[in-house]
Amino acid sequence: MATAAAGALGLLWGWLWSERFWLPQNVSWADFEGQGDGYGYPRARDILSVFPLAAGVFSVRLLFERFIAKPCALHVGIQDSGPYQAQPNAILEKVFMSITKYPDEKRLEGLSKQLDWDVRKIQCWFRHRRNQDKPPTLTKFCESMWRFTFYLCIFCYGIRFLWSSPWFWDTRQCWHSYPYQPLTSGLYYYYIMELAFYWSLMFSQFTDIKRKDFLIMFVHHLATIGLITFSYINNMVRVGTLVLCLHDVSDFLLEAAKLANYAKYQRLCDTLFVIFSAVFVVTRLGIYPFWILNTTLFESWEMIGPYPSWWLFNGLLLVLQVLHVIWSYLIARIAFKALIRGKVLKDDRSDVESSSEEEDITTNSKGPCGRSSSNGANRVNGHMGGSYWAEE
In this prediction, residue 239 carries a pLDDT of 95
Look at residues 80, 63, 61, 210 and name the one whose alpha carbon lies nearest to residue 137: 80
Statement: the pTM of the whole predicted model exceeds 0.75: yes
In this prediction, residue 63 carries a pLDDT of 96
**CA contacts within 13 A on the Cβ side of 149:** 14
Q: How far apart are CA 326 and CA 219, in angstroms?
A: 13
Q: At what angle do helices 266-282 and 237-262 cross, to 10 degrees?
A: 160
Q: How far apart are CA 44 and CA 47, in angstroms?
A: 6
Q: Residues 6 or more apart from 314 whose CB is under 8 A from it?
A: 293, 296, 297
**What is the architecture of the domain spanning 90-133?**
Orthogonal Bundle (1.10)
* End-to-end Cα separation, the chain, in angstroms: 49
* DSSP-assigned letters across all residues of 116-164: T--HHHHHHHHHHHHHHTSPPHHHHHHHHHHHHHHHHHHHHHHHHHHHT
In this prediction, residue 351 carries a pLDDT of 47
Q: What are the extents of the domains in the chain?
A: 36-76+135-341, 90-133
Q: What share of the chain is helix, strand, coil (3-state, %, to 5)?
A: 70, 0, 30
In this prediction, residue 373 carries a pLDDT of 38
In this prediction, residue 342 carries a pLDDT of 53
Q: Give tens-digit pLDDT for 99-130.
A: 888 888 888 888 888 888 888 888 888 888 78
Give pLDDT tens digits along the chain (392 positions).
Answer: 667 666 666 666 666 788 888 888 888 888 877 655 556 888 888 888 899 999 999 999 999 999 999 999 999 999 876 666 777 888 888 888 888 888 888 888 888 888 888 888 888 888 887 877 677 889 889 999 999 999 999 999 999 999 999 999 999 999 999 998 988 889 999 999 999 999 998 888 877 766 666 787 787 788 789 889 989 988 999 999 999 999 999 999 999 999 999 999 988 988 898 899 999 999 999 999 999 999 999 999 999 999 998 998 898 899 889 989 988 998 888 877 766 765 444 444 444 444 333 333 333 333 434 333 333 333 333 333 333 443 33
Asked if 148 contacts 274 with a C-beta cutoff of 8 angstroms, the reply is: no
How far, CA to CA in Å, does 55 sit from each of 63, 196, 202, 260? 13, 8, 11, 29
In this prediction, residue 383 carries a pLDDT of 36
Local structure of 17: helix, strand or coil? coil
Q: Residues 6 or more apart from 139 whose CB is under 8 A from it?
A: 209
Q: Residues 6 or more apart from 211 whose CB is under 8 A from it?
A: 217, 349, 351, 390, 391
